[in-house]
């Protein structure tokens, strides 16, 4: 999977490997198109599709997500 980065108005694609995170989480890491589209907006005019949607199961999952970011 690739993530579009924009630093100083210069777009480039950066590879992101979510497999290590997915195997470490006890909760869910949803990668399907429907879920990502549902989480892409916050009832505003902005639409930014996430790479994945994480549903942590416990505090350790939250720590792992923060560390990954």
The 10s digit of each residue's pLDDT in 13-45 is 556 788 888 899 999 999 899 998 888 888 788
Q: What is the pLDDT of residue 55?
A: 92
Q: For residues 53 and 30, give the distance between their C-alpha atoms in angstroms, rounded to a whole number.
A: 5
Check whether 6 has a pLDDT greater than 70.
no
Is the distance from CB of 57 to CB of 26 less than 8 angstroms?
yes
Q: How confident is the model at residue 2 (pLDDT cuts 50, 70, 90)?
A: very low
Residue 52: Cβ-neighbour burial (10 angstroms; 0-12, 13-18, 19+): middle
Q: For residues 5 and 14, give the distance between their C-alpha atoms in angstroms, rounded to a whole number.
A: 7
Provide the whole-model pTM: 0.70
Q: How confident is the model at residue 11 (pLDDT cuts 50, 70, 90)?
A: low
């Amino acid at each position: 999977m690739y993530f579009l980065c924009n630093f100083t108005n210069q777009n480039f694609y950066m590879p992101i490997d979510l497999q290590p995170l997915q195997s470490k989480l006890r909760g869910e890491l949803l990668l399907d198109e429907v879920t990502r589209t549902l989480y892409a907006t916050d009832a505003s005019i902005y639409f930014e599709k996430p790479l994945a949607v994480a549903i942590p199961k416990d505090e350790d999952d939250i720590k792992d997500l923060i560390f990954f970011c």
